Amino acid sequence: MMRFFLFSILLVFASRLAAGEALIIDHNCLSISEIPRTVLQEARKKFKVAYGHTSHGSQLVAGMHALKEKDKSRYDFNSSGDKGALLLWDKVPSGDLGNPDRRVWAERTWELLKGHGAAINVVMWAWCGQVETASSEEIDLYLGLMNELEKAFPNVTFIYMTGHLNGTGFKGNLHARNQQIREYCRKHGKILFDFADIESYDPDGKVNYNQYNCRDNCSYYKDEKPRNWAEEWLKNNPRNSFALPARAAHTSPLSAAMKGQAFWYMLARLTGWKPECTLSPKKDITAVAAKNRDVNFKMPLLRKSFSKAFKFDTIKDFRYWQEIGTGKSLIPDEENPGSLVVPVEKRLAIALLRNKYFVNEFEFKADLERGRELYWFMNSDFKNNEYAGTGVGGLITPYLCRLIVGNRSYDLPFIMPELKTRKFHCRIIIKENKLIWGLNNKIVCEKVLPAAQLYRKGRCGIGGVKSRIRIGGVYVNARY
């Protein structure tokens, strides 16, 4: 019999060194010509960067490529870090900060740093257009998730970022949300790449064009006439020293060049280089990491995990499982405590853990003496209690084991000769990209499967068709 224990939340975060003042990278941080060559060499050697973005974020990389073509000895980068270059994983992790939802980017970051990106020590994400439609609470969610990532990975520096301009000026929601990000970073000693601020100024830095409803392509309106500060500045400064890319997504090559320069300026600051400006120096990468202070956000933390065993000795224990799952599912057999009954004969019925969790370990005991088949599913989707073809699952009968992956199924060798007992102790574990299925202390299946089927939030459950399933216990280990 499994040991019963209460629902628990396990949060383990490493301690962090206290940070100094905030480091704000904005339109004032473009003077890379004054950075000593030795500082850039140290930055290329020291930092390993993962940069998640889509089209707008590519502007920064376009500017970096132009700098690399101009002076490879100072601004070289590649995906391996070979030959003295900076290691930069471009578009890794994949996706946007707010797409497909406001949380997936953080989960992808977590998986990267826990997996093949364990050597990464700088993580930066760029927004696409999600800031302009964000609520204050959604920006709080972004800030809170960044804060939790900083706690969970104390040796990684996380770069905050503002959203690109959209022409709504100082009165728009975008400006309010960008200000929310800026104020938080200044208050809590974070590192901010102020994407929107860099778009608001030409290289002379004398006019804030956001007062004229500037857009990400550098266009603005003044005296009821459309203008473009990048075109105007380049026309007035034909002998400028900028390394301009041939093109940049959604913007002028000049804006992309400025962002590329600001990125190298930021790395130089992270090495401890002190320019002649008001920004305070940083000793090393850990010294500029975010402060280890709790933020009072009323939201779920990035990672919650729980372990719980259900014995099903009482109806109450089953109802607790059902309450977490769905209202129409298997029901308890009041005549035989510990036995679950299918209420609808022609439909697959399942006691489900709802799909807000990712389950990586599932274990249960069942007796099919009074039934004919049992199904289990992990990280799957259902519509009207019918399997929707996602996640993984399995079929168990006294004569057959079948693995279900998406819409495919695989019959497995049945290795249990003691058919008369029909008692099954089933354990399924997801480890890396492998599914391990054990039955009565024997491995039935050990199979590498697509990550899209394994690493997803979905429903976890047990069920059957026309079956009475006596459940001896269920154990689940899961996380948000």
pLDDT tens for each residue of 270-291: 999 987 533 333 333 333 333 3
pLDDT at 8: 22
Last residue in a domain, options 271, 300, 330? 271
* Chain centroid to CA 452: 15
Q: Rounded distance, CA 415 to CA 423, Å?
A: 14
- State whether 371 and 245 are in the same domain: no
User: What confidence tier does 229 reach under pLDDT thresholds 50, 70, 90?
Assistant: very high
- State whether 38 and 144 are in the same domain: yes
Task: With a cut of 50, say whether residue 354 has pLDDT above it.
Answer: yes
Q: Tell me what the mean pLDDT of segment 242-264 comes to.
A: 95
Closest among 385, 296, 393 to 342, alpha carbons compared: 385
Q: Which residues contact 205 (CB under 8 A, 6 or more apart)?
A: 27, 28
- State whether 326 and 398 are in the same domain: yes
- State whether 241 and 114 are in the same domain: yes
Q: Is residue 10 part of a domain?
A: no
- pLDDT of 64-97, one tens digit each? 999 999 999 999 999 999 999 999 999 999 988 8
- State whether 234 and 92 are in the same domain: yes
- State whether 314 and 255 are in the same domain: no
Per-residue exposure over 183-192, b if at least 16 CB sit within 10 Å of its own CB, e if not: ebbeebbbbb
Q: Is residue 5 part of a domain?
A: no
- Judge contact between 34 and 241, C-beta under 8 A: no
User: What confidence tier does 474 reach under pLDDT thresholds 50, 70, 90?
Assistant: confident
Closest among 270, 267, 254, 266 to 62, alpha carbons compared: 254
| Tokens coding 326 | 């769905």
pLDDT at 281: 36
- State whether 265 and 314 are in the same domain: no
- pLDDT of 136-152, one tens digit each? 989 998 998 898 899 88
- pLDDT of 86-133, one tens digit each? 999 999 999 888 888 888 899 899 999 999 999 999 999 999 989 999
Q: Is residue 300 part of a domain?
A: no
User: What confidence tier does 330 reach under pLDDT thresholds 50, 70, 90?
Assistant: low
Q: Which domain holds residue 155?
A: 23-271
| Domain CATH for 117 | 3.40.50
Q: Is residue 255 part of a domain?
A: yes
Last residue in a domain, options 224, 255, 271? 271
Give helix 229-236 / helix 253-271 axis angle, nearest 10°. 90
SS3 content of the chain, % helix, strand, coil (to 5): 25, 25, 45
- Judge contact between 268 and 32, C-beta under 8 A: yes
The string of DSSP letters for 301-367 reads: -S--EEEEEE--SSHHHHHHHHHHS-SSS-EE-TTSTTEEE-SSTTS-EEEEE-TTSEEEEEEEEEE
- pLDDT of 46-67, one tens digit each? 999 999 999 999 999 999 999 9
Q: Is residue 193 part of a domain?
A: yes
Number of domains in the chain: 2
Place of tokens 């400028």: 240
Classify strands 48-52 and 122-125 as parallel, antiparallel or unpaired: parallel
Q: Is residue 36 part of a domain?
A: yes
Q: Is residue 9 part of a domain?
A: no
Backbone region of residue 83 per phi and psi (left: phi > 0; alpha: psi in -120 to 50; beta: other values): left
- State whether 267 and 329 are in the same domain: no
Task: With a cut of 70, say whether residue 13 has pLDDT above it.
Answer: no
- State whether 334 and 248 are in the same domain: no
Q: Rounded distance, CA 169 to CA 171, Å?
A: 6
* Chain centroid to CA 87: 21
CA dist list (Å): 241 to 37, 64, 372, 383: 18, 14, 78, 60
Q: Is residue 184 part of a domain?
A: yes
Task: With a cut of 80, say whether residue 438 has pLDDT above it.
Answer: yes
Q: What is the pTM of this model?
A: 0.58
Last residue in a domain, options 218, 245, 271? 271
